[in-house]
Structure 1
Amino acid sequence: MTELSPYHEDQELDNNASNNEHFRDILEQRISRRSLITKTASGAVALALASSLTGCGSDDDGNASTTPPADPAEKPKKLTFKPVSKNLDDIVTVPEGYQASILYAMGDPINPAYAAWDDNNVPKGPSFMYRSGDCHDGMSYFGLNSNALNYDANASERGLLVMNHEYINPTFLHPEGPTKVNGRRPEEEVIREVNAHGVSVIELKKDKATQKVEIVKNSLFNRRITASTVMEFAGPAAGSALLCTRFSPAGRQTRGTHNNCGNGYTPWGTYLTTEENFIGYFQRSGSDEYERTPEEKKALKRYGLSLSIDYLYEKNPDGSPKKNAKGEIIYVLDQQGKKIPNLDDQDRVAYLDKNSRYAWETAQGSYYAQDMYDRWTADVTADEADQDYRNGPNTFGWIVEIDPFDSRSNPVKRTALGRFAHEDCRASRLRADDNLAFYMGDDSRGEYIYKFVSDQKWDAKDVNGGYAAGDKYMNSGKLYVAEFNNDGTGQWIELAYGKNGLDEGSSAYPFESQADIVTFARLAADEVGATRMDRPEWVAVNPENGEVYVTLTNNSNRGTAHALDAANPRNYSDPEGGKGNVNGHIIRFRETGDTTTAESFTWDIYLFGAEASMAENINLSGLNDNNDLSSPDGMWFDPRGVLWIQTDDGAYTDTTNCMMLAALPGQVGDGGQVKTSSNIDTFAGAQVNDENLRRFLTGPKECEITGVTMTPDYKAIFINVQHPGEDSESYDAPTSHWPATQTDSGNTTARPRSATVVITRKDGGVIAGA
């Protein structure tokens, strides 16, 4: 019995070997501040700020405000809650006057027929079809109309909360951690892991007086969508030969969604989940290397599944492996480059085989048919693609639309939006005179920022249109990738067959159709010369002006392997020994003419992460102890225009656990030119202060704070705590005991579990309001 080693996402983060410019390579010479942005005043009305808040942890529920109630939809003029101090506590710490409650933790049932989670009796794998998955991530709230039982954007007392379960922490998911027996994963463990991925849909009820939020356990809306759920394809790649598998020879369906990180939602009331680091779930032994076409090899390499036998064998001048007189390959090179002589065929296959991230392909079917596990092997094993799973990886990496109100129809993978490591997907502002658009980032080193512009303008009559509305707005449109210029402007380059060199003569890939382009969007972006970015993470769209914000978490290579420039201008060391762009930053851009169909934009850097004590030419945003942060990741604008920023950090965690902050940002061009510690001039947003950026919460030990949404009355905010105690070395020695410690600080035995937290004010007031 062998324990599995932990997975590290760095294995999948760098697959762009194109010669396209990095964002770091733009602006080799310093340039003056542009004057292209006309500053406009915010149209939001300020809230009247009222009474102070009562102390956190106090038994006093607070006194009702004597001031007239403010409109909760109005954006605060300034932030007035008391900032949470940096800390290393094993709880979710919230401001004075607020309270945090555990709503939905890994393993919790969504059906009353299933027992509550028990640390000492981990539930069976099949039961996770009716339990919370692991590693909670992006999520959205959908109001539920109690009469029509459909989407109601104004309903706060009854609604559906939909959330991602990105991946798993197998150390605590299984009774004694993950195991292998004779090189195979036990089917029971694999079923539990597959079901712990995907998406949860849960019905909530909120008490209008107390704001207490509870799960409706017997709701018919409650369901799990997992890595085995049948999915439909729609858009230009649907029916393509690239999506043909043994499961769906016509290329119209696949099974499952996994590694769902960020999210989005549509104005017609459906949920968008993003498939991020999907490629590591597939095994490719390399035994089919000489059966793959050069085009297939190029695509596999670009998406990170290039386990080629070429680099293992001693090569002939033409690149083929050297063979003896009998036609046998003579030598194989091990990972240190040493020769391994005369392996027989069986040993050679065993040496070349490399399991996927969780080795699901090694399970032997008993509960399910063997095909359920064979699908994770991406080798050529048959004469035709519709007889094996060589195209299995092509069926993942898409934006998936889920209608929370429709459990009878299959979720739909929207191929028009391109295939890559989707981190997030955010719709543009709703305007009847503008085409609906979606903004997306490819979360991997050196990847790109994309947008999809629908052929359709928004029509409010399509609310509650379900998948039919998705077909209308998301199957037909233009896919673009961003190029950033050295003068603070940029342009969108269309990724369309027959345009911008995207055809059979392309050097990146011989594109023969739009299906090829969207399936291999990274290669198309390479061909048109898009700007290589440093891991575009979450995207947020400002409801006031339509500006788009993107988090760039950090980059240890900035200033060394990656040259400095105005968009990535910092190379410094922190007190803990980190180097490069240690703490990350947030960039933003504004479409020319404030219209989604624009093919140009302007950009600047809204916020620089930093420790408060750092020098001014590192701490360029002027952060202090109430708002300093490192590695911004999750991010969302609520409808009022408050920006919520979350961190997934390892650089500042000796001082504080990961956190969420509230911000009231301005607009592109509201700052000025600054010079960094590396003597680089850059474009920075206006410096922040306590009134427009402050820490709202900190999480428990070794977690990531991620996922954020609210009820429409702004009186309950939901966040996710992912992988608390992730540095634990074994299931019986956890470094965190959260969420048990949220209510029992002395608990030293409970397993850590990812969970959703609901935060309310003790006086029942508006979050971050008066």
Structure 2
Amino acid sequence: MNKRVDIPSNGFAHDEIDQNNSGNETFQHVLQARLSRRGLLRGGVGTAATAVMGSLGLSACGGGNNDNDAAFVEKPSYFSKLGFAAVPKSLADLVAVPAGYTASVIYALGDPLNASTPAYKNDGSEADFDNRAGDHHDGMEYFGLNVSGTERQDNSSNRGLLVMNHEAITDQFLHVAGTTSGTRPASESYKEITAHGISIVEVARSNAGVFTTNNSSAFNRRITPLTPVTLSGPVKGNALVKTLYSKDGTAARGTINNCGTGVTPWGTYLSGEENWAGYFGRVISDNTARGGATARSVVSLNRYGRAVSATAGAASRHGWETSGTDDIYKRWNISQTGSSTDGTDDYRNELNTFGYIVEVDPYDKTAAVRKRTALGRFAHESASFATPVEGKPLVVYMGDDSQGEYMYKFVSATNWSAADAAASNRIAVGDKYLDSGKLYVAKFAADGSGSWIELNISNSAIAAYASYKFADQADVLVNARLAADAVGATKMDRPEWCAVHPQTGEVYYTLTNNSNRKIDATSAQFVVDAPNPRAYQDAKIGGSLGSAGNINGHIIRTKDTGANPAATSFNWDVYLFGAEAGADASKINLSALTNDQDFSSPDGIWFSKKTGLCFIQTDDGAYTDVTNCMMLIGVAGKVGDGAKATLSYTKADGSALSVDTYVGAKPAADQLRRFLVGPKDCEITGCTETPDGRALFVNIQHPGETITKANIGDSSKFLSHWPGSIGFGAGGALARPRSATVVITKNDGGLIGS
């Protein structure tokens, strides 16, 4: 079975479809916080019994004032080994964490963001989500607030803002009787649209050591697909982004399918627009209206997954464009319906206004939301900064989440000035560093080296690309996938999150899986290669074989030459290969994972700046016959700490095929362990911490998402009832499941992972 995907009622799952046809190579409203460091120093310890969450009790610890702990935020204490016992694999409908830790729910789908919005009923009756938590909690970051809750204070661990993405929706659970098929009622579509986007919610730790959300905070807000945004950078004002909504191509509406995140050195939030294309529909005749199959806009649409055929249009994910003539619905139809030559009388160019890194200032509601077009347009996951160096360019690493897509980095044209870290006009600082620079794509070599190739129209491979005629540099950025095709970038096994190791500066990318990775090539498959060396069948309980390909995924890491993030060459190896512990060690379990370490389909990846530990989260459909999705913690080494391995295959014609790859050091028992297992049918995603490293926030996405309209009225058919089943919110033991944020603390107040 392939990687889990968010499958709506129409069965469309865009991110499972390979769009790369080029010939290139182939991470209870109460948040229970344990003792802060300040509380430990005071020696105040107390407990109070509360509800039970999953297999873990919730208890309150006294000690600590509601201050910022500024004097008690210690320097990083990087760990060389782990101090917790591994969590066993589990199919239970709960969140399991190690002995000595507590996990508690703080913020779930539908929770109100102001005092006038009533508590969530969890029965599908709420009208909209403009003032409530959205669905499918995903990437997330923590931004500190001062003691009075009025302004930014980066080292505050007792008060801050959680900013998170709401990637998608489990649409059936949002309505009383599930979704309406065919023509969608506007009331249903509006609810579904506003359940996407971003949340900003204030959290605070009380004198008793308990975190709560503050639903009266002036900072709380939602950013949805309807929120006005500004296009920024080289694409702003270009012909490719002119629409009926913004005839000069400078503005757009909202953000959607937001997945991974990033934090800028100046204190703003970055959100990646991931698999956004599937929300938009095209009619069968649209190719003809646009000038035929070879028209530039048609080639672009095909490359981004919006192809039509002689018998079928490109179906939208939820059918919002059927909900009437109101502009907020008809924008989801990107067919050319107008007569203008520039697209200003319809939404033929609307798709080109999505697919970017979005910058938000969580501290300032009045600051414009920016789409940073200089960082390219593709299925963005996270955006991870190299450590800033005074007088040197800023560097941002990114991945494109689809099978056979690429890894990218952006190098700013402006050199970093540390004074900008404390600037009050943070969006203006973003303009300075993120609107001009060079976008690169990665090409891997079989000898463990690689190169970063600039995507610039001055590159002859791009300027003379036969498959698509680029008009200008803005066109190169809008169609970054096509430009990467042109320069021969390496097709990877679904690049998702990336993260920079805080000590070494090396970059870790999760390659979740690829069902098209094969030993023998066909037009729709990729032959195994050095950075993507595995092709095998999934072993199921009982000995049967499931899907073939790179089923369990891997984590690749790169080291820029000379420890210079702006360098155009690098070395690489594979940090970890996902695998079942009992799988063939010569072809599958190359990292020699044990039962306490094995995993499948790595998705989220994140490093603690406090401890240097690596957090790996899974979004899996292959190993889920054995265990629910999980999070592991690892002590990561360095590129080159392992050895070369040769994988031997027999092709269909009987000939031999050998592939060399580079495997990182096999993890010791105290250097990689399973830390968390989630409830049924969920994905584990999003990870952030308080600056003191003693509270970890994690998102549980879409528990029990596998539901049909036919079963929406029978709660016994729900695969999960979490978190209602453990006493959080309405619904009790048979509640509709909800995506939610949990906080994890160590019972003795220590650092997570110690």
Query: What TM-score comes out, normalization by structure 2 length?
Result: 0.87
Aligned to 2:556: 587
Identity between Structure 1 and Structure 2 (%)? 50
Aligned to 1:299: 300
Aligned to 1:383: 339
CA distance in structure 1 between the aligned counterparts of 2:377 and 2:575, rounded to whole angstroms: 28
**In the alignment, does 2:611 pair up with 1:607?**
no
What secondary structure does 2:130 align onto? Answer: helix
**In the alignment, does 2:453 pair up with 1:493?**
yes
Given that 2:631 and 2:677 are in contact with CA atoms closer than 8 Å, whether structure 1 keeps it comes out as: yes
Q: CA 1:106/1:670 → structure 2, altered by over 3 Å: closer, same or farther? A: same
Aligned to 1:271: 269
Q: CA 1:473/1:7 → structure 2, altered by over 3 Å: closer, same or farther? A: farther
1:410 alignment partner, one of 360, 368, 375: 368
1:120 CA displacement: 3.5
Q: CA 1:189/1:148 → structure 2, altered by over 3 Å: closer, same or farther? A: closer
1:655 CA displacement: 1.2
1:632 CA displacement: 0.6
Q: Supply the AA of the counterpart residue of 1:356.
A: S
Stretch of structure 1 that moved more, 600-609 or 667-676: 667-676
Aligned to 1:31: none
Q: CA 1:121/1:533 → structure 2, altered by over 3 Å: closer, same or farther? A: closer
Higher Rg of the two aligned structures: 1
Aligned to 2:175: 174
Given that 2:124 and 2:175 are in contact with CA atoms closer than 8 Å, whether structure 1 keeps it comes out as: no
Q: CA 1:140/1:260 → structure 2, altered by over 3 Å: closer, same or farther? A: same
Aligned to 1:674: 645
Give a deviation string over 1:604-654, Cα, whole Å, max 9, x none.
001011111223222221211111111111111111311100001111111
Aligned to 1:740: 724
Q: Supply the AA of the counterpart residue of 1:713.
A: D
Q: How does 1:549-698 map to 2 (within 5 A)?
A: 549-560=508-519, 561-576=525-540, 577-578=545-546, 579-617=548-586, 618-639=588-609, 640-676=611-647, 678=649, 680-698=659-677
What secondary structure does 1:669 align onto? Answer: coil
Q: CA 1:59/1:189 → structure 2, altered by over 3 Å: closer, same or farther? A: closer
CA distance in structure 2 between the aligned counterparts of 1:116 and 1:661, rounded to whole angstroms: 34
Stretch of structure 1 that moved more, 5-14 or 614-623: 5-14
Aligned to 2:43: none
Aligned to 1:237: 235
1:725 alignment partner, one of 704, 712, 718: 704
Give a deviation string over 1:203-252, Cα, whole Å, max 9, x none.
11023662x22101100000000011001011000000110001000000
1:433 CA displacement: 4.2
1:741 CA displacement: 2.4
1:14 alignment partner, one of 15, 18, 39: 18
Q: CA 1:259/1:61 → structure 2, altered by over 3 Å: closer, same or farther? A: closer
Stretch of structure 1 that moved more, 633-642 or 471-480: 633-642
Stretch of structure 1 that moved more, 599-608 or 551-560: 551-560
1:8 CA displacement: 4.0
1:9 CA displacement: 2.4
Given that 1:286 and 1:379 are in contact with CA atoms closer than 8 Å, whether structure 2 keeps it comes out as: no
1:363 CA displacement: 0.4
Alignment gaps of 5+ in structure 1? 23-53, 313-351
Q: Supply the AA of the counterpart residue of 1:547.
A: E
What secondary structure does 1:506 align onto? Answer: coil
1:303 CA displacement: 1.1
CA distance in structure 2 between the aligned counterparts of 1:235 and 1:121, rounded to whole angstroms: 40
1:354 CA displacement: 5.1
Q: Supply the AA of the counterpart residue of 1:586.
A: I
1:461 CA displacement: 1.3
CA distance in structure 1 between the aligned counterparts of 2:445 and 2:212, rounded to whole angstroms: 50
Q: Supply the AA of the counterpart residue of 1:424.
A: S
Q: CA 1:60/1:452 → structure 2, altered by over 3 Å: closer, same or farther? A: closer
Q: How does 1:151-300 map to 2 (within 5 A)?
A: 151-180=152-181, 183-207=182-206, 210=209, 212-293=210-291, 294-300=295-301
Aligned to 1:44: none
CA distance in structure 1 between the aligned counterparts of 2:132 and 2:58, rounded to whole angstroms: 33
CA distance in structure 2 between the aligned counterparts of 1:419 and 1:100, rounded to whole angstroms: 37
Q: How does 1:13-412 map to 2 (within 5 A)?
A: 13-22=17-26, 57=56, 71=74, 73-120=76-123, 122-125=125-128, 128-146=129-147, 149-180=150-181, 183-207=182-206, 210=209, 212-293=210-291, 294-309=295-310, 312=311, 352=312, 355-364=315-324, 370-384=326-340, 385-412=343-370
Q: CA 1:649/1:747 → structure 2, altered by over 3 Å: closer, same or farther? A: same
CA distance in structure 1 between the aligned counterparts of 2:201 and 2:58, rounded to whole angstroms: 30
Given that 1:92 and 1:742 are in contact with CA atoms closer than 8 Å, whether structure 2 keeps it comes out as: no
Aligned to 1:30: none
1:736 CA displacement: 0.4
CA distance in structure 1 between the aligned counterparts of 2:10 and 2:280, rounded to whole angstroms: 16
CA distance in structure 2 between the aligned counterparts of 1:508 and 1:540, rounded to whole angstroms: 33
Report the aligned-residue RMSD: 2.3
Given that 1:584 and 1:631 are in contact with CA atoms closer than 8 Å, whether structure 2 keeps it comes out as: yes
Alignment gaps of 5+ in structure 2? 1-6, 27-46, 64-71, 520-524, 650-657
Q: Supply the AA of the counterpart residue of 1:563.
A: V
Given that 2:87 and 2:677 are in contact with CA atoms closer than 8 Å, whether structure 1 keeps it comes out as: yes
1:291 CA displacement: 2.7
**In the alignment, does 2:687 pair up with 1:708?**
yes
1:73 CA displacement: 2.3
CA distance in structure 1 between the aligned counterparts of 2:348 and 2:58, rounded to whole angstroms: 60
CA distance in structure 2 between the aligned counterparts of 1:400 and 1:170, rounded to whole angstroms: 25
